[in-house]
Amino acid sequence: MWRYALRRLSFLPIILFAISLLTFIILRVLPGQDPALVIAGQGATKAQISQIHAQLGLDHPIWRQYLTWVGDALRGDFGTTYQSQASIRHEFVRRFPASFEIVFLSLIVSAITGITFGILSAMYRNSVMDYAVRVFAVFGASIPEFFLLTLLIIIPSYLFNYSAPIGGYVSPLHHPWTNLRLFVPPALVLGIGGSAGLMRLVRTTMLEVLHSDYIRTAHAKGLSQKSVIIGHALRNAATPILTALGTAFVAIFGGSIIAEQIMSLQGVGQWFFTSTVLRDLPVVQFLAVYTAAVVIIVNLIVDLSYAVADRRVRYN
């Protein structure tokens, strides 16, 4: 399995190189507002714009700009932001904990909610529980997350005169209660929204497994319902569930950009959104490569987890 993982990881630099090259060309070829004009303002003169171009290296050919960026990136220097001239690496390290926490909490909520209610829906097929879960899954997949996040701010303020903390980042080590108030509500929205598809997949997979011969044999041996569900049914249904969890992670990872922007959380997602609007090209370039690396590594982890969940899977 480790040889398979190393072989997959060996393709990572090639993929990241292709993505970085494609992103670099698209950012500079597609029409859009000149980054120098964004920095200098609408009343800037041509001389000021030319000076900013020279400072940022935008007056060089595209191939030379890209080779310069790749050379610096290989040394761990991803440049500075256009707006504040802050180090991109330091800014990323500062913002990463907020994004990691909201994605981590959302994935836990999605996994617990989706798997638990998916199993209950399959166990009590055509019952009130089953219909409630299926209706909830449809609504969860249909309602946009940005709409729910907006309601999350408006409804408590209007009905209960409660204003949840919005903006910034508070470490859970320093102020645990403030951190939970800041991150749990958006994590619940993202997690429950991401669990809708997982519920339906778990229900469908468990229904197929629960009607298998070995499940009936396990019941005939006198095993408890808990042992049959967890030890036999869920284990044999683990492969498609792991695939759905990987898909849910990617959806939550992308949805965190919207959540951070609406809740004014100082995370990587908000930074990505703001930098795209302001045409901060070095930041967008770096975050595009970072996002691609995260998705590739998560897909690899999901593939390797198949061998752990199902002993019949072997990577030779």
pLDDT tens readout for residues 171-187: 777 778 877 878 888 88
187-203 average pLDDT score: 83
Tokens 């990572």 — which residue?
Answer: 12
pLDDT at site 166: 67
| Mean pLDDT, the chain, integer | 80
Dump the DSSP string for 46-68: HHHHHHHHHHHTTTS-HHHHHHH
Q: Given a cut of 80, is residue 118 above it in pLDDT?
A: yes
Q: Given a cut of 70, is residue 216 above it in pLDDT?
A: yes
18-44 average pLDDT score: 75
Answer for the pair 186, 259: CB distance below 8 angstroms, yes or no: yes
Q: Given a cut of 70, is residue 165 above it in pLDDT?
A: no
Positive or negative torsion for Cα 307, 312, 315, 316: positive
The rounded distance, in Å, linking the Cα atoms of 238 and 244 is 10
Query: pLDDT of 94-116, one tens digit each?
Result: 889 888 988 998 899 888 888 88
Q: Which amino acid is at 81?
A: T
Whole-model pTM? 0.82
- For the chain, which domains are there? 88-277 (1.10.3720.10)
Beta bridge partners of 87: 80
Token pair belonging to 58: 């935008």
